[in-house]
Chain A
Amino acid sequence: MSSLKHLLSAADLSRDAAINLLDIAETMSSVNDREIKKLPTLRGKTVVNLFFEDSTRTRISFELAAKRLSADVINFSAKGSSVSKGESLKDTAQTLEAMGADGVVIRHPASGAAYTLAHSGWINGSIVNAGDGTHEHPTQALLDAFTIRRRLHGAASSGKDLAGVKVAVVGDVLHSRVARSNLLLLNTLGAEVHLVAPPTLLPANSSAWNAVIHFSLDEMLQTVKPDAVMMLRVQLERMNAAYFPSEREYARVWGFNADRLAMLRENALLMHPGPMNRGLEISAAAADSPNSTVLEQVANGVSVRMAVLFNLLSGERSIDNV
């Protein structure tokens, strides 16, 4: 197994490559438990967080990951009028190339922006897709898989895949990069994927997707008895575009509330990529329940992103002696 040049899509990862990254993340996690949470691995390397869209959480997570590996970190927030025209992606990329960026973590509102950046010839550094439009968010899928594996296997996680694990992804699948990346990675790791959404928030043609589609959350919970339920964030502007009639109806039919919490298996995970709309897709009782993994996901995000930056930028494929 060799190190990756870019991480643009969860589809870039073979089963072995994915497990390798999750295993490196386990090691990184132990570093994060130490008093001195820092490794010298990426000393002298420059990582640019290139954010064309606000996402403080994701940016901070990548920033912390890079700093714990001793990389120099530049935050480049490119949102605003000067980048409203498309060509600026090229200009910005060439500027970063001239500055000698070794890795670029990009968040962009356009699907495919990370792919375009990696294949344009504008820049030589490694590209990490930190969310492109409604396409993918591969490090989110990795941290979700990491979280599931840890809850299921604890200290014995290393080397394991997710064979036979039943995961339900619930909500605005159509517009969700988290759902797309999770679908791909969970399939790669052998999990069984269920998608639950109102029909308006599923792709018009999902026939190529290796997942079971449900319109009823209750029916899915009763018949599938999932090991993990992943709630997706609902964007309120969807309501105005007629995807669903009202917040109240959405919460009632597709929200995760106390009644549905009672339908979960005892050890099932209740996941959310954050930030949560409490009272819409998830109720406070559910979000704060023992099943909820929301805060673990945040912590694991740093470990997983350390693993990705390590793999892409250190030139080493596995980690020993840290």
Chain B
Amino acid sequence: MSKFLLKNVSLLGEAPTDVLIQDDLIAAIGADAAGKAANHDSAESVEIIDCAGLIAVPGLVDLHTHLREPGFEASETVLSGTRSAAAGGFTAVHAMANTSPVADTAGVVEQVWSLGLVAGFADVVPVGAVTVGLEGKQLAELAAMADSRAQVRVFSDDGKCVSDPLLMRRALEYVKAFDGVIAQHSQEPRLTEGAQMNEGIVSAELGLVGWPAVAEESIIARDVLLAEHVGSRLHVCHLSTAGSVEIVRWAKARGINVTAEVTPHHLLLTDELARSYDAVYKVNPPLRTQADVLALREALIDGTIDIIATDHAPHPDESKDCEWNAAAFGMLGLEIAASVAHDVLIASGKSTWQRFAEVLSHNPSKIGRLAQQGQAIAVGSIANLALIDPSQTRDAVSTESRSHNNPYLGLKVGGEVVHTIYRGYFTKRDGKVAAGGRNHAAPTDVNSAAKVSN
């Protein structure tokens, strides 16, 4: 049995208090916590961790992670990706389906799910493909994935758009049977053939084929109307334009059951960076303009956008170390998300830690129907926490991913994640990710840990 007392920690920016964690649960908060820690049986040790100056938020939950396993282990594995997640304060990640084989059967989603269990750094929640092989032709066996041990609720062909309107309608209808949601990568394929970057002033100058905002917005407009018509849930992945914000705002006002996500990079970076022709800035959907960035930041604050999701997309060096056209789309995100949220919500003075917890924990858990994640920091809740130091700036490095396509290198960012507690286990402590995951550390170490701390 492990016990930790987090001393003088601020819960979501409130006055400092103490939190007692026992095994995988929050056992006590406030004076009660200190009391229980002091009084308990001397055979058990309580480790006291000074958390003065740190903000506790519920463990972060990513609705959009590319873990690359099975199939692309040179870029990332479930283990390396969840270590990166732990480094970023995450206690759950949704693993996107574009692996090889594609996660379009119960067998593959269960494989990914069990790899997550073995790794023990975060809950790995598989996303199922909407269509067989992501090919947009035939629905995958969605109910089989929903009923599997992985209990899939989020379905997405991410990387590709379910562009066929009939197929999209059917998918939205079908997942109502098990309270699922279709997470759409909104990209009209004909309008984006050969597209390389945002279509605008910069693409005109650079001679790179444009990816117009309308290719995203037209799909979102269609999909919210389909969701309304069939009375189902739609989730919009990585919304990137000011126009998309307007459509989602309209749809929500109309009562349509739609949620939307924004990535850290679309909240911070613009298409001006493409002038370097450095493919680390190549991503899909592309970096947009400063006006779009500002609209997305406002929408995250006002609730039009529900969550930040990373779209963490590792790629090997050779996929980026080349001319722009030949490079792969995607960038790392797990280890920057908390800092970008801190920048947009807290450092700006425009929002609160409560909102921070909503966009990075409560809301993604609700969308993914994860009962054991995104819980309030309260007695009896599962001890999933991220402890953040808002006073320090740090280099925006990525330390745990197997890949290096980090567009934030060289930036100084705030909101460092100091500790990550995943089901009562420190996956990150004092800025360092644990050597081993929760599962193989826990059963064997109970006795020895008690002896050492006595």
Interface residues of A (CB under 8 A from B): 85-87, 89-90, 108-113, 115-116, 119-120, 132-136, 177, 180, 203-209
What chain A residues lie within 8 Å of B351 (beta carbons)?
none
Asked, given contacts A115-B277, A116-B277, whether A110 binds B324 with beta carbons under 8 Å apart, the answer is yes
What chain A residues lie within 8 Å of B301 (beta carbons)?
none
B207, A204: Cβ atoms under 8 Å?
no
Asked, given contacts A204-B199, A208-B201, whether A86 binds B207 with beta carbons under 8 Å apart, the answer is no
Of chain A, the residue at the smallest CB distance from B196 is A111
**CB-defined A-B contacts under 8 Å, sample of 23:** A86-B322, A86-B325, A86-B327, A87-B321, A87-B322, A108-B323, A110-B324, A111-B207, A111-B208, A111-B277, A112-B207, A112-B208, A112-B277, A119-B277, A133-B207, A134-B209, A177-B207, A203-B203, A204-B204, A204-B210, A205-B199, A205-B201, A207-B201
Asked, given contacts A87-B318, A204-B200, A204-B212, whether A180 binds B323 with beta carbons under 8 Å apart, the answer is no
Q: Is B144 an interface residue (CB 8 A)?
A: no
What chain B residues lie within 8 Å of A112 (beta carbons)?
206-208, 277, 323-325
Besides the known contacts A111-B277, A120-B321, A205-B203, 18 further A-B residue pairs in the complex with CB atoms under 8 A apart: A86-B325, A86-B327, A89-B322, A108-B323, A109-B325, A110-B323, A110-B326, A111-B207, A111-B208, A112-B323, A113-B323, A134-B208, A135-B207, A177-B207, A180-B205, A203-B210, A205-B204, A209-B204
Asked, given contacts A86-B326, A89-B322, whether A134 binds B207 with beta carbons under 8 Å apart, the answer is yes
Of chain B, the residue at the smallest CB distance from A109 is B325
What chain A residues lie within 8 Å of B324 (beta carbons)?
110-112, 116
What chain B residues lie within 8 Å of A204 (beta carbons)?
199-200, 204, 210, 212
What chain B residues lie within 8 Å of A116 (beta carbons)?
277, 322-324
A180, B277: Cβ atoms under 8 Å?
no
Binary interface profile of B, 185-211, with partner A (CB < 8 Å = 1, else 0)? 000000000001001110111111110
Max count, chain A CB within 10 A of own CB: residue among B203, B207, B322 = B207
What secondary structure prevails in chain A residues at the interface with B? loop
Asked, given contacts A115-B277, A205-B200, whether A86 binds B205 with beta carbons under 8 Å apart, the answer is no
What chain A residues lie within 8 Å of B204 (beta carbons)?
203-206, 208-209
B207, A136: Cβ atoms under 8 Å?
yes
Binary interface profile of B, 299-328, with partner A (CB < 8 Å = 1, else 0)? 000000000000000000011011111110
Residue in A110, A120, A208 whose beta carbon sits within 8 Å of that of B205 in the complex: A208
What chain B residues lie within 8 Å of A110 (beta carbons)?
323-326
Cα(A119)–Cα(B322), bound, Å: 11
* Top-10 shortest CB links A-B: A86-B326, A86-B322, A135-B207, A203-B204, A112-B277, A134-B207, A110-B325, A110-B323, A111-B207, A113-B323
Asked, given contacts A203-B204, A204-B200, A208-B201, whether A111 binds B322 with beta carbons under 8 Å apart, the answer is no
Cα(A85)–Cα(B205), bound, Å: 25
B321, A90: Cβ atoms under 8 Å?
yes
A-contacting residues, B201-253, CB 8 Å: 201, 203-210, 212
Chain A nearest CB: distance from B236 CB in Å?
A: 23
Cα(A111)–Cα(B200), bound, Å: 16
Cα(A112)–Cα(B323), bound, Å: 7
Chain A nearest CB: distance from B191 CB in Å?
A: 11
What chain A residues lie within 8 Å of B323 (beta carbons)?
86, 89, 108, 110, 112-113, 116
Max count, chain B CB within 10 A of own CB: residue among A89, A203, A208 = A203
Cα(A85)–Cα(B77), bound, Å: 24
What chain B residues lie within 8 Å of A207 (beta carbons)?
201
Cα(A208)–Cα(B202), bound, Å: 9
Cα(A117)–Cα(B210), bound, Å: 23
Cα(A177)–Cα(B199), bound, Å: 17
Chain A nearest CB: distance from B207 CB in Å?
A: 3
Asked, given contacts A111-B208, A116-B277, whether A133 binds B325 with beta carbons under 8 Å apart, the answer is yes
Of chain A, the residue at the smallest CB distance from B322 is A86
Max count, chain A CB within 10 A of own CB: residue among B196, B212, B323 = B323
A-contacting residues, B340-364, CB 8 Å: none
Of chain A, the residue at the smallest CB distance from B201 is A208
Of chain A, the residue at the smallest CB distance from B328 is A86
Max count, chain B CB within 10 A of own CB: residue among A110, A113, A119, A209 = A110
Of chain B, the residue at the smallest CB distance from A184 is B205
Of chain A, the residue at the smallest CB distance from B208 is A111
Of chain B, the residue at the smallest CB distance from A85 is B326
What chain B residues lie within 8 Å of A120 (beta carbons)?
321
Of chain A, the residue at the smallest CB distance from B319 is A86
Of chain A, the residue at the smallest CB distance from B209 is A134
B199, A111: Cβ atoms under 8 Å?
no
Asked, given contacts A86-B322, A87-B321, A90-B321, whether A111 binds B210 with beta carbons under 8 Å apart, the answer is no
Cα(A112)–Cα(B208), bound, Å: 9
Chain B nearest CB: distance from A104 CB in Å?
A: 14
Chain B nearest CB: distance from A61 CB in Å?
A: 22
Cα(A157)–Cα(B353), bound, Å: 68
Of chain B, the residue at the smallest CB distance from A87 is B318
Of chain A, the residue at the smallest CB distance from B198 is A205
Chain B nearest CB: distance from A28 CB in Å?
A: 29
Cα(A89)–Cα(B325), bound, Å: 12
What chain A residues lie within 8 Å of B319 (beta carbons)?
86
Of chain B, the residue at the smallest CB distance from A179 is B207
Chain B nearest CB: distance from A39 CB in Å?
A: 34
What chain B residues lie within 8 Å of A134 (beta carbons)?
207-209
Cα(A133)–Cα(B324), bound, Å: 11
What chain B residues lie within 8 Å of A177 (beta carbons)?
207
What chain A residues lie within 8 Å of B318 (beta carbons)?
86-87
Residue in A87, A89, A111, A119 whose beta carbon sits within 8 Å of that of B206 in the complex: A111
Chain A nearest CB: distance from B130 CB in Å?
A: 29
What chain B residues lie within 8 Å of A115 (beta carbons)?
277
What chain A residues lie within 8 Å of B201 (beta carbons)?
205, 207-208
Chain B nearest CB: distance from A94 CB in Å?
A: 11
Cα(A227)–Cα(B435), bound, Å: 73
Cα(A108)–Cα(B326), bound, Å: 12
What chain A residues lie within 8 Å of B210 (beta carbons)?
203-204
Of chain A, the residue at the smallest CB distance from B317 is A87
Chain A nearest CB: distance from B136 CB in Å?
A: 22
Cα(A116)–Cα(B274), bound, Å: 12
Cα(A304)–Cα(B203), bound, Å: 29
A-contacting residues, B283-304, CB 8 Å: none
A180, B207: Cβ atoms under 8 Å?
yes
